[in-house]
C-alpha cells in the first residue's frame, strides 16, 4: 500500500479552449492542450456526446502530457486526454 499524502493541488481547467494543468509538488505535473492540425498547426476540435454515458454525457478531446513521480512513476507525452463536466451521485451520472 502507498501512504496517504497531504499536498497542495494546483488545478486549472478551461474546457472550452481544451486547456488544463495540474501540479502536486513531488507527485504529478500534467498539462492538457488542444489537438493540433499536423499541417497547419492550428487547434482542431473533437468532442464526443454520449447521451446515456455512464461517466459523462459530453467531453472535449485533447492532447495531454503527465509525469508522475514516486513509487509508481509514469511518463506520458502527447497522449489522449479528454475534459468533461461531471455531475455524479452514488447512483451514477446525474442527468
Domain ranges of the chain: 1-39+60-95
Q: Are 33 and 18 in contact (CB under 8 A)?
A: yes
Is residue 11 over pLDDT 90?
yes
Report how far apart, in Å, the C-alpha atoms of 76 and of each of 17, 50, 81 are.
Answer: 21, 26, 11
Please give the average per-residue pLDDT across 74-95, as a whole number.
91
Question: Can you tell me the distance from the alpha carbon of 61 to that of 32, in angstroms, rounded to the nearest whole number?
Answer: 10
CB atoms within 10 A of CB 68: 15
pLDDT for position 2: 86
pLDDT for position 28: 97
Please give the average per-residue pLDDT across 79-91, as a whole number.
92
Q: Cell 506520458 maps to which residue?
A: 76
Q: What is the pLDDT of residues 21-67, one digit of tens each?
A: 999 999 999 999 999 999 999 999 999 999 998 888 999 999 999 99
Q: Are 32 and 20 in contact (CB under 8 A)?
A: yes
Is residue 20 over pLDDT 90?
yes
Amino acid at each position: 500500500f502507498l501512504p496517504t499524502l497531504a499536498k497542495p493541488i494546483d488545478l486549472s481547467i478551461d474546457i472550452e479552449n481544451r486547456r488544463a494543468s495540474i501540479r502536486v509538488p513531488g507527485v504529478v505535473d500534467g498539462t492538457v492542450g488542444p489537438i493540433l492540425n499536423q499541417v497547419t498547426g492550428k487547434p482542431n476540435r473533437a468532442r464526443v456526446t454520449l447521451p446515456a454515458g455512464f461517466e459523462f454525457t459530453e467531453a472535449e478531446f485533447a492532447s495531454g502530457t503527465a509525469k508522475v513521480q514516486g513509487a509508481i512513476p509514469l511518463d506520458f507525452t502527447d497522449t489522449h486526454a479528454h475534459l468533461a463536466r461531471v455531475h455524479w451521485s452514488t447512483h451514477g451520472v446525474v442527468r
